[in-house]
Amino acid sequence: MSALAGIFKIEDLRKKIIFTLTMIAVYRLGVHIPTPGVDGQALQKVFESMQGTIFGFFNMFSGGALERFSIFALGIMPYI
């Protein structure tokens, strides 16, 4: 436990950890912002029919962002 507490004593490392956690929080909040003009119910039906396919696999890695077709899902998928 002292090693874990010691991480926050180093200023540079503390800033990097806080930045990383903030970016994760921003992404998780952005996942819940829907893309304008997309019918959410129709998209839900499409994803229900694609369970167990490659799209379901990508949806799993994006944390459900594709299923909701959020704004942030459009930018992260090329990197997965």
Q: Which residues contact 38 (CB under 8 A, 6 or more apart)?
A: 69
Q: What is the pLDDT of residues 64-75, one digit of tens each?
A: 667 777 777 666
d(CA 38, CA 30): 16
Cβ neighbour number for residue 62 with a 10 Å cutoff: 19
Closest-CA residue to 40 (of 69, 72, 74) = 69
Model confidence at 77, pLDDT cuts 50, 70, 90, reads low
Domain that holds residue 61: 2-79
pLDDT tens for 4-54 read 778 888 889 999 999 999 998 988 888 778 777 878 788 778 777 877 788
Tally of domains in the chain: 1
pTM: 0.60
